[in-house]
Chain A
């Protein structure tokens, strides 16, 4: 079939739009990388456009010298690993039970979960509850509060219901397998794809979790990476130059201070990169699993 003029115009406009979209999305991320690798002075002057200018690893050396970043990294990894395991422990068995159409009280239990998607007590009552439970300023609060996503539970349930044939359970039951046995030997091994998807979801959620830490963590030694980042990047607390503001200027010192200010600014780019590095590296490989998760979920929302 030949393409009409209108078709061609549409195609060209679409391609141009996509190129622009690509540029607008990609360039800020790319710029972050090249700025972090450039001489701070050139970054401040706006000389950095397409490639690093006067390549230097100075900014990275500064970030690595900042001990709080390592503490944040260590804590975030700890919270992410154990938080994710805890979440999986809650989510997968629950999804399995609710995938059984014939069990009594299924509707009531489902409502019990789904209701919380639309209504909650809010920030203040939650805060008071956590405080009264003595969870303030403990690592547990970060592991527990990320706990359970009803949405992930629903996605897993849909998978159990649509991808594991009833006959498999049937024959296991005839062989005398208990519900536990059916869950561990049939359902779990066959659900690997969906378990992979929700594991990734929980990992990303835990890695990026910020607000719970802001509310419940006061001890610098327990701070996750995101809280450290907030202090440096958002509150713009300077890492390099304590005491920069108070004393009087000596001749020649002004230039030094300007240089330090530039360095502090460029260092932020390096910090952004270091903090998102693990996800950025993994992203191209795991991207399609995430997409699959959305697709499964949208089958029956």
Chain B
């Protein structure tokens, strides 16, 4: 008698799994860990739909549905928060090609020793902690910092960089570029190493200039890498820079530096409005995933490359 369908396959799988039980023992700690610390909070996120009171517990707290979300989108601060979040996100996406350009320029360098030196130096800032990076920004752009001293010696007025809401987005995005540019180029350097030398030779024989070879041979060859990393970036964008935004906030630049994630911290951790802040966090997360799906869908349509 042969068992058929998924049930049969499941049983046979179990039997085979049993003979390899040791392999499952090896992975068990990781499964338990992720179960508790990643899926635990996903279960807990239902407090976004409840009126959570710690004394009543998750299940004892009253179910209020979308009330917190409704409150958030009708909130006077909602649009400024969304605008600030999107401003930084879009700004970072516009600068997305920089590491690609850098990788191409590395690839075109003739002196290997010089190339290795520049690479080593530009990778280094990536390893600085976010606190150190922000400290450097605050020291250099401080009122008494070297940048202001230089401006003054050239006859300009001192600028309160950290206190200016109109400067914050630039300072934030470009300090990120300073830290991540070199490191971000590695993956493209790896991709460029795989470009077929015959193709490059053929293009040169046809009389193509350096720039044309880059445009017509190199770029198309690394396009899959470019698209995949772009999609991955979009997935992490609204979350990743949060610690740095938080640390770069000053009371006077809040008009542009208060983003959804820092707001969640403010009213949740500091203000103990658990349900409301959890709903805002969830909102942020969902917007993120929707963006990921849209970009992935668009990439599939245009280039047939995507994460799934």
Contact = CB atoms under 8 A, between A and B. Distances in A.
A233 B134 CA distance: 9
B196 interface: no
Given A122-B278, A145-B37, A25 B124 contact: yes
Nearest to B111: A15
Contact of A272 (B13, B109, B132): B132
Nearest to B232: A301
A237 to B, nearest CB: 13
B202 interface: no
Contacts of A22: 117-118, 121-122
Interface stretch (B72-80, B84-92, B165-173, B185-193): B185-193
A116 B210 contact: no
Contacts of A229: 129, 131-132, 135
B105 interface: yes
Given A112-B34, A125-B47, A129-B41, A10 B210 contact: yes
Give the dominant DSSP class at B's interface.
helix
B31 interface: yes
B285 A120 contact: yes
Output the residue of A18, A129, A284 with the most chain B CB within 10 A: A18
Interface in A249-278: 265, 268-269, 271-272, 275-276
Given A122-B285, A210-B130, A89 B190 contact: no
Contacts of A98: 27
B135 A103 contact: no
Contacts, number: 250
B16 interface: yes
Size class of the contact patch on chain A? 35 or more
Contacts of B40: 121, 125-126, 129
A25 B127 CA distance: 13
Given A21-B118, A90-B30, A124-B274, A226 B153 contact: no
A272 B130 CA distance: 12
A167 B150 CA distance: 66
Contacts of B14: 104
Interface in B21-43: 22-27, 29-31, 33-34, 36-43
Given A18-B118, A123-B268, A301-B228, A208 B130 contact: yes
Interface stretch (A26-34, A53-61, A190-198): A26-34
Interface string A28-59: 11011001000000001110100000000000
A204 B140 CA distance: 25
B13 A104 contact: yes
Given A10-B210, A145-B37, A204-B127, A272 B139 contact: yes
A125 B132 contact: no
B307 to A, nearest CB: 9
A7 B210 contact: yes
B50 to A, nearest CB: 12
Nearest to A153: B30
A4 interface: yes
A26 B152 CA distance: 23
B277 interface: yes
Given A97-B24, A210-B129, A279-B127, A148 B33 contact: yes
B120 A125 contact: no
B211 A10 contact: yes
A14 B132 contact: no
A89 B127 contact: no
B116 to A, nearest CB: 10
Interface stretch (A77-85, A178-186, A239-247): A178-186
Nearest to B179: A25
Contact of A211 (B23, B243, B274, B277): B243
A94 interface: yes
A127 B121 contact: no
A207 B42 CA distance: 27
B218 to A, nearest CB: 14
B124 A283 contact: yes
A166 to B, nearest CB: 15
A164 interface: no
B247 A234 contact: yes
A14 B105 contact: yes
B187 A298 contact: yes
B72 to A, nearest CB: 13
B103 interface: no
A25 B182 CA distance: 10
A220 interface: no
Interface in B7-25: 13-14, 16-17, 20, 22-25
B44 A125 contact: yes
Output the residue of B33, B39, B225 with the most chain A CB within 10 A: B33
A28 B41 contact: no
B86 to A, nearest CB: 19
B199 interface: no
B306 interface: no
Interface in B133-157: 134-136, 138-140, 144, 146, 149-150, 152-153
11 contacts: A10-B210, A18-B118, A104-B13, A121-B41, A122-B45, A122-B278, A123-B268, A129-B37, A145-B37, A279-B127, A301-B228
The 10 closest A-B pairs by CB, nearest first: A121-B41, A46-B149, A125-B44, A122-B281, A104-B13, A208-B129, A94-B30, A93-B26, A179-B22, A233-B135
